[in-house]
Every structure is written in C-alpha cells, then in structure tokens.
C-alpha cells in the first residue's frame, strides 16, 4: 500500500517556530530566516529521495511477484510527478535569480 502524501508545512510557521526556539523575534534577520528554509529544502529533497526509493523497491517487488503491478505503477507515477515538480521549481528559481541579477540598479 502506498502511504498518503504528507501535508506541506507552512514556511511562515517553520520560520516562526525556529525563531521562537532560538529566542529570536519573528522579525529576525535574513540570516536567521534562511536556516529554516534550508531545513525545509533539505526535507523536500529527502522526501523526493524516499519517494523515488519507494518506487524502485515496489518495482523490484512487482517484478518478483511480491507486490501488485498497480502499486508499482502508482508509485512510479508519483515519483515521476515529484521529480518533474522539483525540476520545474529548480528551473523557476534559476530563472527568478537571473531576472533579479539582471535588474538595473
């Protein structure tokens, strides 16, 4: 059985909870706000890796007759969509950074 997709945490709540745990105010500097973002980004990459590994293991189990082909197909589709989403977000981030860098001062 494929596990349900977990809820995506709010970036604002993550920043607020990290600021509260470190004793900073919610209007902390950008340096303090970037640490929770890197944690969120790392968790997203880890989740993508987990989904991909799950799809691979289900595909191998289906080939061995230990899992259904439907479960393997669904897991592969989810991994494919997650990878496409990560690729699109990375492309959009690079495009946005290039737009910012090309702005006249």
Residue 16 included in any domain: no
Q: Is residue 6 domain-resident?
A: no
Q: Is residue 18 part of a domain?
A: no
For residue 72, being part of any structural domain is answered with: yes
Supply the pLDDT for residue 28: 41
> pLDDT tens digits, the chain, 105 residues: what are they?
666 666 665 555 554 554 454 444 444 444 445 568 788 888 889 999 999 999 999 999 999 999 999 999 999 999 999 999 999 999 999 999 999 999 988
For residue 84, tell me if it sits in a domain.
Answer: yes
What local confidence, expressed as pLDDT, does residue 50 receive?
93
Q: Does residue 5 lie in a domain region?
A: no
| Residues 18, 28 contacting (CB under 8 angstroms) | no
Query: Is 34 within the bounds of a domain?
Result: no
Number of domains in the chain: 1
Considering the domain boundaries, does residue 31 fall inside one?
Answer: no
HEC profile for the chain? CCCCCCCCCCHHHHHHHHHHHHCCCCCCCHHHHHHHHHHHHHHHHHHHHHHHHHHHHHHHHHHCCCCCHHHHHHHHHHHHHHHHHHHHHHHHHHHHHHHHHCCCC
**Which domain, by its residues, includes 55?**
43-105
User: Could you tell me the pTM of the whole model?
Assistant: 0.60
């Amino acid at each position: 059985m494929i596990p349900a997709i977990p809820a995506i945490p709010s970036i604002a709540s993550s920043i607020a909870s990290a600021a509260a745990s470190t004793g900073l105010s919610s209007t902390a500097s950008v340096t303090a706000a970037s640490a929770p973002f890197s944690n969120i980004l790392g968790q997203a990459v880890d989740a993508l890796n987990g989904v991909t590994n799950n799809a691979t293991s289900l595909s191998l189990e289906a080939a061995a007759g230990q899992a259904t082909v439907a479960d393997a197909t669904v897991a592969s589709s989810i991994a494919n969509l997650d990878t496409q989403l990560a690729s699109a977000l990375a492309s959009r981030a690079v495009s946005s950074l290039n737009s910012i860098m090309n702005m006249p001062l």
